[in-house]
Structure 1
Amino acid sequence: MRKAPPARLLDITRVLRRAGRVWTGVDRVELAYLEALIADPVPAWGLARTPLGYILLDQEGLHALLGRLNGAVACAPPDILSRLQRGATDAARRMQSDARRLSVARCLPRGLAAMLRRRLPVGVAYLNTGHSNLSKRVLEAVRALPQSRIAVFVHDVIPLDYPQYQRAGTVAVFEQKMRRARAYADLLICNSADTLGRARAVMAHWGPVPQGIVAHLGTIPPAPEPAELPAGLPPEGPYFITVGTIEPRKNHALLLDIWDRLGPDAPQLLICGSRGWNNEAVFARLDALGAQARVREVSGLSDGALMALVQGAHGMLFPSHAEGFGMPAVEALQLGTPVMCSNMATFGEILAKKAVYIDDSTQDMWEETIIEWSKQSRDTLRVNDFEAPTWEAHFKIALSYT
């Protein structure tokens, strides 16, 4: 534990860029840090890289920006600079425009170090929780500030441990980010002991590893909103659900194999998530599903609609090959929905004895358990005593070191 710094500087580049999209787990972490830092007695600042350079927000600006990010305040129309930006969504253009309006300072890339020196106090603590803007320019500019400290949140090192599951070209980019984190960070914040151990093992090949701490993520699942579900959902009768991007490491192929074997008498399976990468065989199987298939691909739901499906399911299925934390599984247990997941260290650490663990290659055991659960009532299966990690506990640890 350390003495509190005179100010904290949170990098908010990721949430500005992703405004208007469904928030991912990493997005939610950055938003949780934004909310926590605004509420903390230590003054908070925000830094973001935009297509035109960097912007700096003070605590008042961050508070106003949070209202726009969580939908409490509507954004103004995009300014001319944002309208000229290519590739961004309208929501991102509006959010970046308002962020510029709320900022206390702006600069071109070459002016970053000077802007930070003028505005920030000696001993500021910089936090990067989303891996965006984790650049040499930013890290060196912060490091040049007197007595500054740098903390980087490492969500996982899956791209380095399992490169076969990644999109082309992304592994090298991720590795460079982790190399910079090792070289510049004073502290690594990890969501699990498993993540910290894996990060240390990877970084040890490159040189001395910074201090690391473990702070389990808090989880506050959105309230279920059945009224937001489209027609035909939830399905009649028992159904199972899996939530996450349809990518190779999530192992949707195992579930499709099981449902092929179960045939027309199978319970319904809802595959909820957008399509990812390197998964053409699974995409082809999903495209071939007929109207009477017992498997349904669902995407584009609101958070409330998705939580309504999770809450009503007979089980959440998580046959992943690798996970950093597994937030959907935690949210399912919070809603009382039982979880069947791969037998991996991360799940065991977070879910403890409240989930059913099956090896991700043992198809027969998955099938037998799914059949068994489908024959039971939803109330019989319900999980009533899961104690999820809290954000209060997370920040009690994380902010005592930053």
Structure 2
Amino acid sequence: MLDFTRLLRRAGRVWTGVDRVELAYLEALIADTVPVWGLARTPIGYVLLDQAGLAAFHQRLTGKLPFSAPDVLSRMVRGMTPLMRAALTDARKFAVARCLPSRLARMLQKRLPAGVAYLNTGHSNLSNRVFEAVRSVPNARIAVFVHDVIPLEYPQYQRVGTVEAFAQKMRRVRAHTDLIIYNSADTQMRTERAMAEWGPVPQGIVAFLGAMRPVPDAAGMPRGLPPEGPYFITVGTIEPRKNHALLLDVWEKLGPDAPMLLICGGRGWNNDGVFARLDALGPEARVREISGLDDGALAALVEGAEALLFPSHAEGYGLPAVEALLLETPVICADIATFHEILGNNVVYADDSSANLWHDTIVNWSQQAQGTLGTRAFEAPSWEDHFKIALRLT
């Protein structure tokens, strides 16, 4: 049973890395011969889908078929876009069972076989109610994918009120799960170090995320893109952890003759200083902020860039760098353990606290002859390899 709560809530938005992981699990499980169910928390209770229902929902989620028109109940829910309401409508429409929160255990006991394996890959719906309801099914097992524990390690980068909520979520994961799946050994080490303060740590396994070469499609680019001349690109939500301030410092020092820097990502939180600097950019600035690109347009921009810049202070995995290498775009990234584990010797490392070092690296980079900046042979892990490890619980 896959928890698809996150995908339901993210319908119609640009996929994040965590969204893509949950989507990959959904696609793998509905294609498998092992029977699969899908559980999701909605604003008014829970829905349970069987394999056919999950397949139908996946077709709508990925745009292969249109969502239904929002029904009356969905239109009554506040704070949702029309597409989110449509997704909620179809989740109920395709459900084999629905229940109020208080009846979740009863619904699962009635519908699921003994020995069911519950998978949660999206950091959503990790509640005591869900865990206890799953445990009420005889011989049920629980596996949770932990992408990172950055909120515990870097609370200064988080939104107000989110750190304690995340800590409580991880406490519940430690207390209830049989298996934790990690995207890297570094994430496992950091998570287990945090959880060890709360009690015995569940069994953990490491399975690198699968990745496929993105398909560039310039048709979705806004007017004026790609820019004329060489350019660099950075991809990710504009939040303090991603360290956009360092890149802005570098580009200020490079001056009016700098190559163009494309900052691709939506605005996040706790970053008023960076937002103010971006808002102050004039039409002649050598920095451009871009948001809302579809996957094809973003891939086309990454493919044409001199390099992807990734100066993050902390990452759980670093999927944009992996995808850039698959597009044969060089990567300059922060000198952190996660990147060394995932990217190896295929990138250029620079201290994430040294704007001067990044400046010098980019200056030297730009002065090299065209054609000498190619990537080394990089083989990304496959989803097939990932699932051979991650689905051992089933």
C-alpha distance in 2 between matches for 1:330 and 1:348: 12
| Cα distance, 1:378 vs structure 2 | 4.9
Q: Distance in 2 between matches of 1:104 and 1:156?
A: 33
Determine helix, strand or coil for the equivalent of 1:381: coil
Displacement after TM superposition at 1:376 (Å)? 3.3
| Residue-by-residue CA offset, 1:210-242 (whole Å, 9 max, x unaligned) | 000000001124311112111111111110000
> In 2, Cα distance between the equivalents of 1:78 and 1:176?
34
The answer (yes or no) to whether the contact 2:4–2:40 under 8 Å persists in 1 is yes
State the Cα distance separating 1:92 from its structure 2 match: 0.9
SS state at 2:41 partner? strand
Q: Separation in 2 of the partners of 1:333 and 1:384? A: 9
Aligned-partner Cα distance in 2 for 1:156–1:98: 31
| Post-superposition CA distance 1:134-179 (Å, at most 9, x none) | 1110010001211110001000000001101000000011111100
Deviates more, 1:204-213 or 1:356-365: 356-365
SS at match of 2:371: helix
Tell me how far apart the structure 1 counterparts of residues 145 and 46 of structure 2 sit (CA, whole Å).
Answer: 21
Q: Which runs of 4+ in 1 moved over 3 A?
A: 376-379
- Cα deviation digits, residues 71-117 of structure 1 (max 9, x gap): 10111101111011100111111011011111100011111000000
Structure 2 unmatched ranges of 5 or more: none
| Residues in 2 aligned to 1:50 and 1:157: alpha-carbon distance in whole angstroms | 26
C-alpha distance in structure 1 between counterparts of 2:277 and 2:49, whole Å: 48
- Out of 77, 99, 111, the position equivalent to 2:69 is 77
What's 1:263 paired with?
255
Residue 364 of structure 1: CA displacement?
A: 2.0
Q: In structure 2, how many angstroms separate the alpha carbons of the residues matched to 1:194 and 1:81?
A: 44
Partners of 1:397 and 1:40 in 2: CA distance? 15
User: 2:57 aligned to 65, 81, 88, which one?
Assistant: 65
Cα distance between partner residues in 1 of 2:214 and 2:333:
22
Q: Distance between the aligned counterparts of 2:237 and 2:271, measured in 1?
A: 11
Which range moves more in the overlay, 373-382 or 32-41? Answer: 373-382
Instruction: Determine the structure 2 residue equivalent to 1:21.
Output: 13
Q: Aligned match of 1:346 in 316, 338, 350?
A: 338
What CA distance in whole angstroms lies between the structure 2 residues aligned with 1:278 and 1:307? Answer: 28
2:244 aligned to 242, 247, 252, which one? 252
Structure 1 runs not aligned, ≥5 long: 1-8
Identical aligned residues as a percent: 69
Residues in 1 aligned to 2:370 and 2:275: alpha-carbon distance in whole angstroms? 30
Counterpart residue identity of residue 196, structure 1: Q
State how far apart, in whole Å, the 2-side matches of 1:261 and 1:336 are.
28
Shift of 1:385: 1.5
Determine if contact 2:46/2:104 at 8 Å carries over to the other structure: yes
Code of the residue aligned with 1:325 in structure 2: it is: Y
SS state of the match for residue 237, structure 2?
coil
| Aligned partner of residue 232 in structure 2, secondary structure | strand
Instruction: Determine helix, strand or coil for the equivalent of 2:37.
Output: strand
Kept after mapping to 2: 8 A contact 1:182/1:210: yes
Give 3-state SS (helix, strand or coil) of 2:25's partner: helix
Q: 1:158 maps to which residue?
A: 150
- Most deviating of 202-211 and 377-386: 377-386
Which residue identity is paired with 1:162? Y
Q: CA RMSD in A?
A: 1.0
Counterpart amino acid of residue 344 in structure 1: I
The corresponding residue for 2:170 is 178
Comparing 225-234 and 182-191, the one that deviates more: 225-234
**Match for residue 282 of structure 2 among 260, 285, 290:** 290
C-alpha contact (below 8 Å) 1:239/1:374 kept by paired residues: no
**SS of equivalent residue, structure 1 residue 296:** strand
Structure 2 equivalent of residue 274 of structure 1 = 266
Distance 1:378 1:15 in 2: 42
CA shift for structure 1 position 336: 0.4
| CA–CA distance in structure 2, aligned partners of residues 198 and 343 of structure 1 | 17
Determine whether 1:144 maps to 2:152: no
2:212 is the counterpart of 1:220: yes
- Hey, what does 1:114 align to over in structure 2? 106
Displacement of 1:400 after TM fit? 1.7
> Using the alignment, how far apart are the partners of 2:212 and 2:265 within structure 1?
19
1:305 CA displacement: 0.6
Distance 2:258 2:166 in 1: 40
Number of residue pairs matched? Answer: 394
Contact residue 312 and residue 337 of structure 1 kept, 8 A: yes
- Pairwise CA distance, 1:384: 5.2
Conserved 8 A contact 2:235-2:264: yes
Q: How far is the alpha carbon of 1:41 from its aligned partner?
A: 1.9
Corresponding residue number in structure 1 for 2:25:
33
CA distance in 2, matches of 1:207, 1:301: 43
Number of the residue aligned with 1:207: 199
1:389 aligns with 2:387: no
Closer, same or farther: CA 242–395 of 1 in aligned 2, 3 Å: same
Q: Counterpart in 2 of 1:3?
A: none
TM-score between both structures, scaled by the size of structure 1 = 0.97
CA contact 2:233–2:302 (8 Å) conserved in 1: yes
